[in-house]
Amino acid sequence: MRPTPIDKKIIDDAIEERDIKDFTHATIREVKGVAEDAERASGVEFIKMEMGIPGLPAAQVGVQAQIDALQRGVASMYPDIQGAPVLKEQASRFVKAFIGVDVDAEGCIPVTGSMQGTYAAFCLCSQCDPQHDTVLFIDPGFPVQKMQLKVQGIKYETFDVYDYRGDKLGPKLESYLKRGNISAIIYSNPNNPSWVCLDEEELRTIGELATRYGAIVLEDLAYFAMDFRKDLDTPFQPPYQATVARYTSNYILLISGSKAFSYAGERIAVVCIGNDLFHRHYPALDNRYEGLPFGLIYSTRILYALSSGTSHSAQFALAAIMKAASDGTYKFREETREYARRARKLKEIFLRHNFYIVYDKDLDQPIADGFYFTIGYPGMTSGQLARELMYYGVSAISLATTGSRQQGLRVCTSFIKPHQYDVLDERMTIFAENNPI
């Protein structure tokens, strides 16, 4: 047995000091904290793959537009709760350019990051019909969204899409919907953490079932257009970002500035409510909110109660980014392709040292390279692998925390530095020797 790069006692003590009972269920922040503690104590650099934070510079067109807005004095003024008109117009145009669907500007509402968008959507969707009191996750997914439901006291159900792709998705989804209690369905596409990309036929299935059973689909597009197997670069020209919006009017799209435009620090996103849903009335909502339609309740009641609006200057930043992208002068996918290049190199290293990709296929295609991917190791559970890799100075989160039923870890490519590929290769050589299969 070769010595591990970091003394095991350092890791074990750091885990104990943070009172983590089972590393299988350690949160992203807890894993990050243990890695930082161990890095300080050992002096050994960690290869950090646990945090889904952009690792590229912010879109310069947005930075300049935000500076210009600040210099015009917008910081002294509350933004309109429904959003700056320029952002609403450009968001509507961006959706047409890259998704290929029509969402009116009134339905494009800025939020303080997609996390606020989902929080508000969960709140409103759960009030539309007293019988529909449960949110359904097509997992794996972003763990904090379940935390949001726990905070609000809203019930949820989940299933792991791993065994239910293609023709199997419809029967599985309908087995939940026919119970009559599902208010909303949520998933991310591309998916965090698996990087599964639901195709148009699967989205058609989701959309048609949502219409049949009166559920609202929350489509989280945090990793917008990052399926790099497809040419999604040209605005107003197919192929487009896949979406459920082509198959149901019961949809809310969440388009974040954080990953696609590396604008995470300014907490800016746009929620796009389908035109029909925006104007829809529900008896329960009419009684509660003075007869307002769904979309105005979302902005003038739910969002207003949460924040008085979204950062004024950041709205001008996102508007400029979306305009430049739709004009074809800002090729945002040329920048985000860096994540795919990193994923390709990292996968090669892990696979060479006996790891395997857990979510390895989109139906009959190999999974795309992108912001995330998943790894497993023969004979190890998620918790065992997560803890063992810490001894080798590699931090990643367990798939168990994402709602996955599979054994393995989520790997994020965003913080990988050029010199760390060789370091990872060296450490995984030792790992494979110490853990023969």
- Domain of residue 390, CATH code: 3.90.1150.100
Let me know whether 76 and 126 are in one domain.
yes
Let me know whether 288 and 167 are in one domain.
yes
Q: What confidence tier does 52 reach under pLDDT thresholds 50, 70, 90?
A: confident
* Secondary structure string (H, E, C) spanning the chain: CCCCCCCHHHHHHHHHHCCCCCHHHCCHHHHHHHHHHHHHHHCCCCEECCCCCCCCCCCHHHHHHHHHHHHCCHHHCCCCCCCCHHHHHHHHHHHHHHCCCCCCHHHEEEECHHHHHHHHHHHHHCCCCCCCCEEEEEECCCHHHHHHHHHHCCEEEEEEHHHCCHHHHHHHHHHHHCCCCEEEEEEECCCCCCCCCCCHHHHHHHHHHHHHHCCEEEEEECCCCCCCCCCCCCCCCCCCCCCHHHCCCCEEEEEECCCCCCCHHHCCEEEEECHHHHHCCCHHHHHHCCCCCHHHHHHHHHHHHHHCCCCHHHHHHHHHHHHHHHHCCCCHHHHHHHHHHHHHHHHHHHHHCCCEECCCEECCEECCCCCEEEEECCCCCHHHHHHHHHCCCEECEEHHHHCCCCCCEEEECCCCCCCHHHHHHHHHHHHHHHCCC
Q: What confidence tier does 17 reach under pLDDT thresholds 50, 70, 90?
A: very high
Mean pLDDT computed over 212-237:
97
Classify residue 345: in a domain, yes or no. yes
Amino acid 340: pLDDT: 97
Classify residue 2: in a domain, yes or no. no
| Average of per-residue pLDDT values in the chain | 96
Amino acid 58: pLDDT: 96
Classify residue 3: in a domain, yes or no. no
Domain boundary, last residue among 327, 353, 374: 327
pLDDT at 55 over 90: no
Classify residue 97: in a domain, yes or no. yes
Domain boundary, last residue among 327, 357, 374: 327
Classify residue 395: in a domain, yes or no. yes
Classify residue 98: in a domain, yes or no. yes
Let me know whether 419 and 315 are in one domain.
no
Percent of the chain with pLDDT over 70: 100
pLDDT at 267 over 90: yes
Let me know whether 207 and 115 are in one domain.
yes
Classify residue 305: in a domain, yes or no. yes
Let me know whether 284 and 139 are in one domain.
yes
Let me know whether 128 and 184 are in one domain.
yes
User: Which pTM value belongs to this model?
Assistant: 0.95
As for how many domains the chain has, the answer is 2
Amino acid 417: pLDDT: 94
Domain boundary, last residue among 327, 353, 377: 327
Mean pLDDT computed over 305-313:
94
Let me know whether 132 and 190 are in one domain.
yes
154: CATH: 3.40.640.10
pLDDT at 195 over 90: yes
Classify residue 1: in a domain, yes or no. no
Amino acid 6: pLDDT: 96
Let me know whether 78 and 161 are in one domain.
yes
Let me know whether 52 and 72 are in one domain.
no
Residues spanned by the domain of 12: 8-56+332-434
Amino acid 86: pLDDT: 98
Let me know whether 374 and 303 are in one domain.
no
| pLDDT tens, residue by residue, 59-79 | 999 999 999 999 999 999 999
Mean pLDDT check: name the lowest of 17-26, 88-97, 197-206, 235-244.
Answer: 17-26
Let me know whether 118 and 256 are in one domain.
yes
| pLDDT tens, residue by residue, 142-151 | 999 999 999 9
Let me know whether 221 and 237 are in one domain.
yes
| pLDDT tens, residue by residue, 176-186 | 999 999 999 99
| pLDDT tens, residue by residue, 375-392 | 999 999 999 999 999 999
